[in-house]
Chains A and B, each alone.
Chain A
Amino acid sequence: MVKKRLYLELENCIGCRSCLAACTQCGGHEQRNRNYVYDVNPLKNRQTMPLMCLHCVNPACARSCPAQAIQIHETGAVLSALVEKCIGCQNCTIACPYGIPKFDTEQNLMYKCDLCIDRTKDGIPPMCASVCPSNTLQWLTDEEIEAKQKQFNLDNGKWVTSMPYLEGETNVRVNLPGILQGVTKLF
């Protein structure tokens, strides 16, 4: 099975929130979504961007968990807290540099994107990527991501991908070729 990654082309986002709706339907998510869609400049225009868990290679949430409840899957996905282990201290929510983990005070339980591990462990794209209508969220091999990088890289340092623009190496790759380079993309 070829390893694929979640790949975000942020400026494609049209703010439909299909990814959030699909997220609620994933097995184990219990009707709740685990990610975010933000307006970039809420009073001025309609540009939105999704904010997903980036599945850090060295995740701060898991490092700060006193209960070892946040486990890392062999595919690199940083899993949601194990329900029997999470003690509800909320260390993970304040450790995460992106503010991703959500917390349910009633259930005393943290939950976060697990990259739909029941799907991705078998090579099926995560819910968000499989429904995204604007190719903001894609499920690609490393070669395909590299090809995209070549396609958009203008040697002006404006290719924003995971490193060095994020805090650490992540399993999810992020990219913003259009806006920063003034390129209009045709779909």
Chain B
Amino acid sequence: MESTIQSAKKRDNTVNNAFASHFAKSMFLTVVGLAILVFIGTRMFTHIDLNLYGYMVGTITFLGGFFYRFISWGERPPTKIIIKKGLKLLFRKSTAKTAVSHLAIYDFIKKRGFYRWMQHILIGWGCVLACLVTFPLVFSWMYFNMDGNGYYTVVLMGVDLVRIKADGIIAWFSYNALNISAIMVITGVCMALYRRMKNMQARAEQKFMYDFLPLYMLLFISVTGLLLTVQNVFLHGWMQPQMSLIHQFSVIVTLIYLPFGKLAHIPFRPMSVLARNYREHYGEQHMKECKVCGDKFVSVEQSNDVIQVLGTNNMEFNMEDGFNLAELCLPCRRKYRIARFSGFATHQVKVKEANQNARG
């Protein structure tokens, strides 16, 4: 009794109780974190680029949607397990390799098709590059100072990083980074649109809102962004202020939409690294043996997790003859099903299942 009171007291004093919800806590901590970073990066708010304040507000609105979507998603029992156990295993040796393969070079997409991999690399890395340039500028974590004539000082997080020639190669890449990323994204999106128009399978399955809208939004951003450069270089800045507002609008709308449509897989994808770690780690620990054939088919940990998750949904596959389906490996599970249909114990016949290869 006493101990329960004590633990209740302990719980009352945690930071979590300062917030009405998980959402409020995440939102508060992130915004405070951003403010601190901006404070440091802008040398105590003296170098804020107010031209970009719309993006700042847009980012914070995006964070609201992001936390709303992903906290509710993380509450699902299977998701919770993978996130919790995956994060504990984050410092496995293989994490770096898996992360590069899954998140940087998209190996698994290459196996799904070279064309799709190419378009994904172009869109993915185009967007990453654009974000790496845009957000440090929006929050003024990075800005350019011209102290001496002809030289820019790159200031990163309030620290003078490097002096570069204003017409040098590094400067050229800095000015044109967003143009390069725009061209990458436009090429990738056009490839994706072409595939969606030509591929019969894609045509049968695609929906405008889910499959086309995100592509059009990326195109909208890239084209308006590129037009800004065109207006500067070729049209002496004609209609540039208007276009910069249109571009800002396109970015903010996409940011707000991002957690809810197809693009939600971007912030969500690192989960695959956690899942891989989870499988590898527990696979090395203890494998579950099939009750019928003795094959090791899955880690005990994962099997128990799945049983527990199904239990929360009131699903338990206990059979009349004392089996639980979770104890059977997949071929035996299928044969057991045939046995239930036919009345003959197919799973007890010690013959390897006939060829069930998906390619025949």
Chain A residues with a Cβ under 8 A of chain B? 10-11, 17, 20-21, 24, 27-28, 31-34, 36-43, 47, 49, 51, 58, 60, 63-68, 83-85, 87-91, 93-100, 102, 104, 106-109, 111, 117-118, 160, 165, 167-168, 174, 176, 179-180
Q: Is there an interface contact between A67 and B340, defined as CB atoms closer than 8 Å?
A: no
CB-CB nearest in chain A for B342 = A40
Q: Is there an interface contact between B302 and A99, defined as CB atoms closer than 8 Å?
A: no
A90, A109, A174: the one contacting B112 at CB < 8 Å is: A109
Q: Is there an interface contact between A63 and B344, defined as CB atoms closer than 8 Å?
A: no
CA distance A33 to B360 in the complex (A): 7
Q: Is there an interface contact between A42 and B275, defined as CB atoms closer than 8 Å?
A: no
Q: Which of B111, B274, B331 has its CB near the most chain A CB atoms (within 10 A)?
A: B111
Q: Is there an interface contact between A98 and B337, defined as CB atoms closer than 8 Å?
A: yes
Q: Is there an interface contact between A87 and B315, defined as CB atoms closer than 8 Å?
A: no
Q: Which residues of A contact B272 (CB under 8 A)?
A: 87-88, 108
A-B CB contacts (within 8 Å), total count: 168
Q: How far is the CB of B93 from chain A (nearest CB, A)?
A: 19
CA distance A91 to B308 in the complex (A): 12
Q: Is there an interface contact between A98 and B112, defined as CB atoms closer than 8 Å?
A: no
**In the complex, B89 has a CB within 8 A of chain A:** no
CA distance A63 to B349 in the complex (A): 32
Q: Which of A87, A88, A117, A176 has its CB near the most chain B CB atoms (within 10 A)?
A: A87
**In the complex, B333 has a CB within 8 A of chain A:** yes
**In the complex, B309 has a CB within 8 A of chain A:** yes
Contact A91-B306, Cβ < 8 Å, known A108-B272, A179-B342: yes
Q: Which residues of A contact B359 (CB under 8 A)?
A: 24, 31-33
Q: Which residues of A contact B309 (CB under 8 A)?
A: 63-64, 91, 95
List 6 additional contacts besides A88-B108, A176-B342; criterion CB under 8 Å.
A27-B204, A39-B351, A40-B346, A91-B302, A95-B306, A168-B315
Q: Is there an interface contact between A84 and B265, defined as CB atoms closer than 8 Å?
A: yes
Chain B residues with a Cβ under 8 A of chain A? 73, 76, 78-79, 81-83, 102, 108, 111-112, 200-201, 204-205, 262, 265, 268-269, 271-272, 274-276, 278-279, 297-298, 302-303, 305-306, 309-310, 313, 315, 317, 325-326, 328, 330-335, 337-338, 340-344, 346, 349, 351, 353-354, 356, 358-360
B82, B275, B315, B343: the one contacting A60 at CB < 8 Å is: B315
Q: Which residues of A contact B73 (CB under 8 A)?
A: 68
Q: Is there an interface contact between A67 and B349, defined as CB atoms closer than 8 Å?
A: no
Q: How far is the CB of A46 from chain B (nearest CB, A)?
A: 12
CA distance A168 to B112 in the complex (A): 34
B78, B205, B340, B342: the one contacting A27 at CB < 8 Å is: B205
Instruction: Name 20 interchain pairs, CB-CB below 8 A, sorted by A.
Output: A17-B360, A24-B359, A27-B204, A31-B359, A49-B338, A58-B313, A60-B313, A63-B78, A66-B79, A83-B112, A84-B262, A87-B269, A94-B298, A94-B326, A97-B337, A99-B330, A104-B111, A107-B112, A176-B341, A176-B342
Q: Is there an interface contact between B310 and A60, defined as CB atoms closer than 8 Å?
A: yes
Q: Which residues of A contact B328 (CB under 8 A)?
A: 99
Q: Which residues of A contact B108 (CB under 8 A)?
A: 88, 106-109
CA distance A47 to B349 in the complex (A): 14
Q: Which residues of B contact A88 (CB under 8 A)?
A: 108, 272, 275-276
Contact A102-B111, Cβ < 8 Å, known A27-B204, A38-B334, A60-B310: no
Q: Which residues of A contact B274 (CB under 8 A)?
A: 87
Q: Which residues of A contact B200 (CB under 8 A)?
A: 27
Q: Is there an interface contact between B78 and A98, defined as CB atoms closer than 8 Å?
A: no
CA distance A34 to B357 in the complex (A): 9
CA distance A95 to B340 in the complex (A): 18
CA distance A41 to B268 in the complex (A): 46
CA distance A42 to B344 in the complex (A): 11
Q: Which residues of A contact B358 (CB under 8 A)?
A: 24, 32-34, 102, 111
Q: Which residues of A contact B356 (CB under 8 A)?
A: 36
Q: How far is the CB of A116 from chain B (nearest CB, A)?
A: 10
Q: How far is the CB of B101 from chain A (nearest CB, A)?
A: 9
Question: Ordered nearest first, which 10 A-B pairs have the shortest CB separation?
Answer: A118-B204, A99-B333, A32-B358, A87-B272, A27-B201, A89-B275, A108-B108, A99-B330, A66-B78, A84-B265
Q: Is there an interface contact between A107 and B79, defined as CB atoms closer than 8 Å?
A: no
Q: Is there an interface contact between A64 and B344, defined as CB atoms closer than 8 Å?
A: no
B305, B326, B342, B351: the one contacting A49 at CB < 8 Å is: B342
Q: Is there an interface contact between B271 and A87, defined as CB atoms closer than 8 Å?
A: yes
Q: Is there an interface contact between A66 and B275, defined as CB atoms closer than 8 Å?
A: yes
CB-CB nearest in chain A for B299 = A94
CB-CB nearest in chain B for A50 = B338
Q: Which of B79, B200, B360 has its CB near the most chain A CB atoms (within 10 A)?
A: B360
CA distance A90 to B297 in the complex (A): 11
Q: Which of B78, B205, B309 has its CB near the most chain A CB atoms (within 10 A)?
A: B78
CB-CB nearest in chain A for B335 = A38
Q: Is there an interface contact between A85 and B265, defined as CB atoms closer than 8 Å?
A: yes
CA distance A134 to B247 in the complex (A): 61
Q: Is there an interface contact between A21 and B360, defined as CB atoms closer than 8 Å?
A: yes
